A and B are shown apart, each in its own frame.
Chain A
Amino acid sequence: MSKLDAKIPEGSIDQKWTKYKSSVALVNPANKRNLEIIIVGSGLAGASAAAALAELGYKVKVFYFQDSPRRAHSIAAQGGINAAKNYTNDGDSVHRLFYDTIKGGDYRAREGNVHRLAEVSNNIIDQCVAQGVPFAREYGGLLSNRSFGGTQVERTFYAAGQTGQQLLLGAYSAMQRQVGSGKIESFSRHEMLDIVMIDGKCRGIIARDLVTGKLERHFGHSVLLCTGGYGNVFFLSTNAMGSNATAVWKAHKKGAYFGNPCFTQIHPTCIPVSGDHQSKLTLMSESLRNDGRIWVPKLKEDAEAIRTGKKRAVQLSEEERDYYLERRYPAFGNLVPRDVASRAAKERCDAGYGVNKTGEAVYLDFTFNTKRYGRTEATKKGIHNPSEDEIVRLGKDVIKEKYGNLFDMYKQITGVDPYEEPMQIYPAVHYTMGGLWVDYNLMTTVPGLYALGEANFSDHGANRLGASALMQGLADGYFVIPYTIGAYLSKEIAVKAIPTDHEAFVEAEKNVQERIDKLLNIKGTKTVDHFHKKLGKIMWDKCGMGRNEKHLKEAIDEIRALRAEFWKDLRVTGTADDLNPELEKAGRVADFLELGELMCMDAVNRNESCGGHFREEYQTEEGEAKRDDDNFAYVATWEYKGGENNFELHKEELIYENIKIAQRSYK
């Protein structure tokens, strides 16, 4: 029997959640005090879940590898958070948000979960404002909205370019309030290294105190993984250096199925790689595409001249430039969704039109709009027949006001002044839509083990829309898990806390210790980063923006070989009983080396192109993604079967009762 019961409640789509909430089993307050919940990760999902569950009276323990819960990478989200408030009176509704999210995900997300997400989106904004999150406001004192890719309404709430920071600090404050009142125990610089299973249920974790190196056993009636995505499989990504997949991967190996591992979001506007020393990639907000035009030279010779420094971008006339997005997608132009824009950039660069030393960059040029703004300003100021210089000067002031901080950031990183030269950008790994498979309750296939936020697979299908990640993290933590966890815990009230000298804990700790010892005892010659970079290159070249069967199969072989080499020739300095960043990295890369392979396997299996997953064999004549709804309208869910590279595919059919499936077109 397949375990894949999504447990979607009966009833019409707009009644499912309401009915569920009023009928789900409850836990009375006295019993809540005896139920312990472990939360791993302190980002939007983790911190909000910790706060909400502690407020309800559960005993909560939170684990995070950074020094403070406020460091979690949710903090880096720039753009905003969606909600169906319709404050702008432009026709938004819960249904529309639901529809846009399903469509944006290229029809590979589950209707029930996404509708619930759209329903609670409004509560998130209310909750955050009540917490004192300083969203941007209009002069009248009410909240301001802006538009984002893939939608036709303005539903994005924001706090300058630091929305993620402000939302996370809100959730962090709520969590710290419970820490202060003693209801949450907070474990900084602790990394979860395994889950503990007792009688088929998840009953705790093994965590390593990263400062002392000591392994600790922690019991919980249930465990919530809120550990984010696995974009760092690619080594270079917009993720934080510490972002990792270890928690979800350990859970996967203990029985939690992995959903759609190959669905990766590549963000089109990042600062290109500058050299081998590069450690991470920096995102330039999507909002820049509102005023920037993307181009490469029309002639290869010009591209070549620019790459070798013989020509500068500004020397090319309008006729010598190829605004390829505007050419290919006249309707949406530079504002096509992320997956489309990224692929188009790759296509041009692969064809030899890239513009930086590595040949992997395109221009994001503000000249046109600078001048447009300049002329408007001149008119406003009553300057007749302004000179070209005057127009540019006035226009620059407008651009500076709108994007000043981003331009400064760009200059800081590249050393090039984007007011003088067009920006160079290139796509980079940004987000992973795949993750642990969860049912409507957010429970994985392991009883008692939940996955929230980016760590699960549920809401974004094959492509995530901008400003939806923050929404999902907080929805899961504040408004979903507090209800759905009752369905499980209400049956656990008779279970007393299990002492951590139980054999399952002893066994799990022993396994973790053995693995640590193994890593330290290879005593080879190559560093962790050496292997991580190699893995990243394989993944980026063969399981990145464009994929095909041949490359993916090669990638699988290469990863297997690399993994074998890793376990033979890795060098980890230092000891286990000390703060040892090399050891931490080694454990994470060891897991990436397994997950990377599964991603490729999933990509081979999915013989279609959808969202961020582009299989070169499956494209239209114009080079657009070709979906295959007859054969692939399912969640590819992988079960670990023990041993090496032994995974079994299960399928959760996706049934669309409320949305008519259609081809996405941005022409």
Chain B
Amino acid sequence: MNWLSKMFSSSIGQKFIMSITGLFLISFLVVHCFLNALIFLNDGGRVFNMGAKFMSTNPVIRIVEIVLFAGLLLHIIRAFILMNLNNKSRPIKYAVTNGKANSKWYSRSMGLLGTLLLLFLIIHLRHFWVPTKIALFSGNEHNSFEELKEIFSNPIFVAIYELGVISLFYHLMHGFQSAFQTLGLNHSKYTPFIQTCGKLYSFIIPFIFALMPLAIFMGFIK
């Protein structure tokens, strides 16, 4: 398996991991987003809680969840390793750089955006995932919808979530199309399509996420 370790330790192999795990997380976000969007049914959280229950108890989903966390960790760890490598490849920095002349700021700031997202994620998991798990293992009934309403009644948390979602937007703006480029998918015919999809995705998903805390905070969701 020498070749495998060689491949994954090479610069391209490492990027390959980032790309695959990134795309996997992107696909997860779709599920996450649309399940959460059930709150907009405004039925007092009935359907939403059904969905939440399904997601936390179904054995298949439980396995997928483990894979998801593995992917997430891989993405994060690789990102830090790569950031370190890339940092070392220019030990003496320029006195003056003019990055905006040749690239987008968010493309150059994936590490920063990712770190912000990681911080957000810790808060987010503490808010929603940890209580669900505690409830699951202690056998208690857990009302995710009520929890949602409670947390988003706090304006500070709403602000944090909105900031997290903005980070996500920019992270995706670069990440989506970049993942395809890393996989070698760059083609005159299809790349413009991929890029448009990327922009739509980067906007729509975070936008829906962004609506949730606001809608609850403003009292639209009962």
Q: Is there any pair of Cβ atoms, one from A and one from B, under 8 angstroms apart in the complex?
A: no
**Which B residues are within 8 Å of any A CB, using their own CB?**
none
